[in-house]
């Protein structure tokens, strides 16, 4: 099934309009409905309970990266990247390889 550019544009516009309508409905009606919010919270709790291991595993696999980024943001915030480079040269190189710091 081959779609023309006009059909694709029409589908995209319809999708954007649907998203806008849903967002407006949430911010005007759903957000203030106690029943909706309680169901939403319950669904979120269930999802959290069912996926605790996924979150734990993701954190374990990305622990080193998270620490690196946290340290980088700390030194960037204080405008002290030169101190970071002197104090942690291996981590500085690792961040360069990751593309987070320009050479």
pLDDT digits (tens, 9 = 90+) for 1-15: 798 999 999 999 999
Residue 103 has pLDDT above 70, yes or no: no
Q: Answer whether residue 75 is part of any domain.
A: yes
Q: Answer whether residue 2 is part of any domain.
A: no
Q: Answer whether residue 73 is part of any domain.
A: yes
Question: Per residue in 54-88, pLDDT tens?
Answer: 999 999 999 999 999 999 999 999 999 999 999 99
Domain assignment of residue 45, given as a range: 18-50
Q: Answer whether residue 11 is part of any domain.
A: no
Q: Is 82 exposed, middle or buried (0-12, 13-18, 19+ CB in 10 A)?
A: exposed
Question: Are 67 and 46 part of one and the same domain?
Answer: no
- For residue 100, the tally of other CB atoms under 10 A from its CB is 15
pLDDT of residue 97: 93
User: What's the rounded Cα separation, in Å, for the pair 65 and 32?
Assistant: 39
Q: Answer whether residue 68 is part of any domain.
A: yes
User: Which two three-digit tokens encode residue 9?
Assistant: 């544009």
Cα–Cα distances in angstroms (integers) from residue 88 to residues 2, 15, 54, 62, 96, in the given order: 55, 48, 31, 19, 12
Q: Answer whether residue 56 is part of any domain.
A: no
User: Which two three-digit tokens encode residue 2?
Assistant: 């081959």
Domain count, the chain: 2
Question: Are 46 and 67 part of one and the same domain?
Answer: no
């Amino acid at each position: 099934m081959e779609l023309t550019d006009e059909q694709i544009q029409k589908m995209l516009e319809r999708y954007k309009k649907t998203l806008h309508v849903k967002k407006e409905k949430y911010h005007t009606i759903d957000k203030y409905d106690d029943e909706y919010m309680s169901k939403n919270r319950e669904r979120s709790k269930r999802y959290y309970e069912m996926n605790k291991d996924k979150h734990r595993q993701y954190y374990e696999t990305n622990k080193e990266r998270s620490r690196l980024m946290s340290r980088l943001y700390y030194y960037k915030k204080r405008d002290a990247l030169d101190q970071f480079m002197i104090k942690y040269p291996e981590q500085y190189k690792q961040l360069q390889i990751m593309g987070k710091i320009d050479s």
